[in-house]
Amino acid sequence: MTRPARHSHGDGRWTLQSFATCGAGSVLEETVLAFHAERIEIGADVYVGHLTVLKGYHRGRLVIGDGTWIGEGCYLGAAGGLEIGTDVGIGPGTRILTSHHVEDGLDLPILHSALAYRAVSLGAGSDLGVGCTVLPGVTIGRGVQVAAGAVVTADLPDHAVAAGVPARVLRMRS
């Protein structure tokens, strides 16, 4: 088996001018890593915490809406496209994925199989608790509360409160 050649994705260093856009009043802690920053759009008054990885990738876009707060140690992968609405809270340690390996039979290691890309969308005013994982292709509606540690595998409707692995709607906010 011939393995694909490996290459560096860069060191993740950035300046505010590296991003496609970066709105007024936004704060990115100096230990944030941004890859393909030219594919990342940051709104106004956004906060991005220490040790967070913003992965714009060479395809897809990462769009972060105005007033969003992203805790420390998050991983936001936007290979398939990631759109975060306005005033969204993303708890520390949250992971959002927009790509996954497809099954290519038993003769090929999963690592070397093709990637599938599926966009993720987080609605305005939503909040993801500490350590959530959002899987590719998920749409989280407006004003949704996702509990700490939840794994979101399917769409969540506006104003839902969801928890668990996989995340399930517990009730609707009122």
8-state DSSP, 40: E
3-state secondary structure of 112: helix
Q: Is 101 a catalytic residue?
A: yes
Q: Cβ distance 98 to 121 under 8 Å?
A: no
Which of 9, 50, 58, 101 is catalytic? The answer is 101
Task: Show which residues are catalytic.
Answer: 101
